[in-house]
Structure 1
Amino acid sequence: MVIDESHIAIPQIKGMYKADRTRKSILVRYGFRLSSCFENRPLKWEEFKGYMKKVIFMSATPGEYECKLSRIVEQLVRPTGRSGKNSRLFK
C-alpha cells in the first residue's frame, strides 16, 4: 500500500468514521435517514490498520505516526531538479 501525502491522509482516515457517524446521527435524529444507514460506513482506524501490511508513507513533511513506524529516507535534490553526483540517500 502506498499512502501519498501521508501527513494529510493519515489524520483524515482516522477522523473519517467519527465524522460520518456524527453526520448520519443528525440525519437519523431528524428523520432524513433510516438508522440502517449506519451499516454503510467508512472503516474505523483500527480496521484500516489491519489492511496496512506493507506500507510506503510518502510525504515531504511526515507526521508523528509515520516517523514512529518508518525508517526515513531523505532525498537530496539540486535546485535544478536533477539528481547530481553529490546526491545521496540515507536510511
Structure 2
Amino acid sequence: MAVEAERGPRARVRWLGLWDGYFVVCHLVTTALVFTSGAPQGRRVLAIGGLTVAAVWYAALGRPLLTGRGAAGGATWSSAPGWSGSSRWSCAPT
C-alpha cells in the first residue's frame, strides 16, 4: 500500500510530458487549419485567439495544478478514486 501511494504522484507527473506534446501539436495543427480555412478574417482571428488563450491558461494555471505546484494554497487535481489531497475549493473527496 505504501508503495502504491509513493508511485502515484510520480507516475502522474511522468506522463505529463506526453500530454504537453499532444497539446502543442493539436494547437499548432488546429491553428494552421483555421488560418488556411476560407472563413472570414475576423472569425479566424477570434478562433486562433481562443486557442491561444486556452494554451496560456493551461501553461499558467492548469499545468501547475496537475503537478501539485498550484499557487492557490496548495490545491491539486487528481482523477484517482479515493483521492485525499488538500484542496482549497474542496473539489475532491477527503
After TM superposition, the score normalised by the length of structure 1 is 0.39
Q: Which has the higher contact order (CA 8 A, sep 6+)?
A: 1
| Larger-gyration structure (1/2) | 1
Indicate the structure with greater helix content. 2
After TM superposition, the score normalised by the length of structure 2 is 0.38
